[in-house]
Amino acid sequence: MARSSISALRKFAGGTVHEKPQITKPAEQCELCSVRVPLQHRHLLETEKRQIVCACDSCAMRFEGVVEGRYKIIPRDARALPDFQMSDAEWETLALPINLAFFFYHSPQRKMVAMYPSPAGATESLLPLTAWETLAARNSALRTLEPDVEALLINRVRQQRAYYIVPIDKCFELVGLIRMSWRGFSGGEEVWRDIERFFSNLREMAKTA
């Protein structure tokens, strides 16, 4: 029936109708053992390169409790911080070009790192984080951040004041979303809708710390 319909359409149009080829997304694989993994699977972080690695459950379990090494397993839970204390003045001292940023401790460099999403991908702020110790003193949740694989994610877009501790792969998910959706100088309405949708989903999954 499909072939006869296309033939009829060719005659009506007086030309050739090409069927659009179906593009199938390749199945994801564990990057350690190459076994196929489901859509929802565990991630590891290659700490030196800050690279997210897909892993099957068996390979991921090998890195449970690993403190040092090439790979660390990325946790799954996110936590909302409704009582987080940060003034507008403290935020301004960071001099970030966008009101979105994430902060994590990078073990290979032995320092806190601040990054923000941009049309080019994740961009590292080169300013010293002199205010971090003050924030950590006032917000005890920051002292529980797991090095490399957890981050403080801050959203101050359009008058929002939202703070979360999230798995590091959620931060890079946001980076990828912005990179794919950004249009023109200001990003376009689509990217801001995508950002709002991302944080709406994050609010639903986050536990209150």
68-102 pLDDT, tens digit per residue, is: 788 999 999 999 999 999 999 999 888 888 899 99
Of 12 and 165, the one with more pLDDT: 165
Which residue among 24, 49, 74 closes a domain? 74
Say if residue 68 is in the same domain as residue 113. no
Residue 15's pLDDT band (boundaries 50, 70, 90)? very low
C-alpha triplet 105, 110, 116: angle, nearest 5°? 40
Residue 26's pLDDT band (boundaries 50, 70, 90)? low
List the beta bridge partners of residue 73: 44
Q: What's the helix, strand, coil split of the chain in %, to 5?
A: 35, 25, 40
Say if residue 135 is in the same domain as residue 33. no
Say if residue 39 is in the same domain as residue 122. no
Query: Among residues 117, 103, 87, which one has the least CA distance to residue 187?
Result: 117
Separation CA 88–CA 69 (nearest Å)? 38
Say if residue 103 is in the same domain as residue 56. no
- Please report the pLDDT score of residue 119 as a whole number: 85
Count CB-CB contacts under 10 A for residue 6.
13
- The chain-wide mean pLDDT, for the chain, equals 84
- Please report the pLDDT score of residue 174 as a whole number: 94
**pLDDT at 140 > cutoff 80:** yes
Say if residue 109 is in the same domain as residue 43. no
CA distances in angstroms from 137 to 57, 90, 131, 140, 153, listed in the order given: 37, 14, 10, 6, 18
Residue range(s) defining the domain that contains residue 20: 1-74
Say if residue 12 is in the same domain as residue 91. no
Query: Among residues 153, 151, 164, which one has the least CA distance to residue 203?
Result: 164
Count CB-CB contacts under 10 A for residue 68.
9
Say if residue 4 is in the same domain as residue 54. yes
**pLDDT at 167 > cutoff 90:** yes
Q: What average pLDDT does the segment 136-160 reach? A: 93
Say if residue 116 is in the same domain as residue 62. no
- Please report the pLDDT score of residue 121 as a whole number: 87
Query: What total of structural domains would you count in the chain?
Result: 2
- Please report the pLDDT score of residue 44 as a whole number: 94
Say if residue 69 is in the same domain as residue 154. no
Separation CA 70–CA 45 (nearest Å)? 8
Say if residue 52 is in the same domain as residue 84. no
Q: Could you read off the pLDDT of 177-202 as tens digits, one per residue? A: 998 888 877 777 888 899 999 999 99
Residue 25's pLDDT band (boundaries 50, 70, 90)? low
